[in-house]
């Protein structure tokens, strides 16, 4: 991971091999993010769920993240030529325990399954451990979300629990899988 300016098209953010994690920019990222959080294909297994997000709600979300909040870090995911393809974050950061939870989605379907999610999660994990100095990341994922579970396990996340029928989602109570990654188990994904 490097934060140095190597690409004149984009030039900011934490860069991996395929993506850069860049600060939120309402003028560039809000319309896409609003579309994606209202796309049932994207939200199917997201914990934010299927509640309809109005444009005003999305604006308020972006505005709320325009202030420094050390407990919540949000990035837009861009390709190395500056195309916005998703969002990711490190949430509920507990600096005393050195722990946080994470989330990530790739919006356009044509960018899923091509290693962008894996690269974004790798850069995010470097940021969490090396920049924030955390020691542990944990996450709760729907058991049906094979892409996410595979992605996380490739990084070294280990399953530590399951909760049966945790959430009602799309016509059924669904199980969740709980996974944890410690700094020692992190296996950066180089493609
Ligand atoms: C989950 C998500 C972030 C993964 O990112 P991605 O760019 O699509 O995945 P990658 O191409 O990096 O692939 C990572 C691994 O998952 C596997 N994978 C990708 N899509 C898959 C699918 N639909 N089913 C099963 N495995 C899948 C890949 O094959 C790869 O494993 P491999 O190297 O053994 O082949 C992305 O698909 C997404 O945004 N989904 C919708 C939102 C979501 O569910 N977010 C996670 C919430 S916890």
What is the reported pLDDT for 61? Answer: 96
Q: What is the model's pLDDT at position 1?
A: 61
Q: How far apart, in Å, are the Cα atoms of 137 and each of 41, 47, 129, 179?
A: 26, 16, 9, 8
Confidence (pLDDT) at 2 = 55
pLDDT above 50 for 6:
no
Residue 67, judged by CB atoms within 10 A of its CB (0-12, 13-18, 19+), counts as exposed
Is residue 42 lining ligand 1, measured as CB closer than 6 Å? yes
Ligand 1 pocket check for 129: Cβ under 6 Å? no
Query: What structural domains and CATH numbers belong to the chain?
Result: 14-134 (3.40.630.30)
Is residue 87 lining ligand 1, measured as CB closer than 6 Å?
no
Q: At residue 4, does pLDDT exceed 70?
A: no
Nearest to 94 by CA among 70, 74, 75, 67: 70
Q: What is the mean pLDDT of the chain?
A: 94
| Ligand 1 pocket residue status of 113, Cβ below 6 Å | yes
Question: Tens digits of per-residue pLDDT, 77-117?
Answer: 999 999 999 999 999 999 999 999 999 999 999 999 999 99
Q: pTM of this prediction?
A: 0.93
pLDDT of residue 189: 78
Instruction: pLDDT band for 179, please (50, 70, 90 cuts).
Output: very high
The answer, yes or no, to whether any atom of ligand 1 lies below 6 A from the CB of 153, is: no
Residues 6+ apart with CB under 8 A from 32: 84, 107
Q: Indicate if the pLDDT at residue 5 is higher than 90.
A: no
- Tell me which of 165 and 188 has the higher pLDDT: 165
Percent of the chain with pLDDT over 70: 94
Please tell me the distance between residue 77's alpha carbon and the centre of ligand 1 in angstroms. 15
Quick one: average pLDDT of 43-71?
95
State residue 190's pLDDT score.
77
Residue 145 C-alpha to ligand 1 middle, in angstroms?
A: 8
Going by their DSSP bridges, the two strands 73-79 and 84-94 should be labelled as antiparallel
Residues in Cβ contact with 95 at an 8 Å cutoff, skipping those fewer than 6 apart: 70, 132, 134
pLDDT at 191 over 50: yes
Q: Percent of the chain at pLDDT above 90?
A: 91
Ligand 1 atom at minimum distance from 114 CA: 11
Q: CA–CA distance from 77 to each of 64, 80, 161 (Å)?
A: 19, 10, 29
Q: How far apart are CA 187 and CA 167, in angstroms?
A: 30
């Amino acid at each position: 991971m490097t934060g140095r300016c190597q690409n004149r098209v984009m030039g900011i953010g934490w860069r991996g091999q395929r993506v850069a994690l860049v600060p939120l920019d309402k003028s560039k990222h809000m319309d896409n993010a609003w579309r994606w959080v209202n796309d049932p294909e994207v939200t199917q297994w997201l914990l934010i769920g299927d509640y309809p997000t109005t444009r005003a709600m999305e604006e308020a979300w972006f505005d709320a993240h325009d202030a420094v909040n050390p407990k919540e870090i949000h990035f837009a995911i861009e390709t190395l030529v500056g195309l916005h393809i998703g969002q990711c974050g490190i949430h509920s950061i507990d600096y005393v325990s050195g722990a946080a939870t994470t989330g990530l989605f790739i919006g356009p379907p044509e960018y899923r399954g091509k290693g962008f999610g894996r690269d974004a999660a790798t850069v995010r994990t470097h940021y969490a451990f090396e920049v924030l100095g955390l020691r542990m990341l944990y996450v709760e994922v729907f058991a049906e979300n094979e892409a996410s579970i595979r992605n996380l396990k490739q990084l070294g996340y280990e399953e530590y629990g399951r909760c049966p029928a945790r959430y009602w989602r799309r016509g059924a109570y669904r199980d969740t899988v709980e996974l944890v990654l410690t700094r020692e188990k992190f296996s950066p994904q180089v493609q």
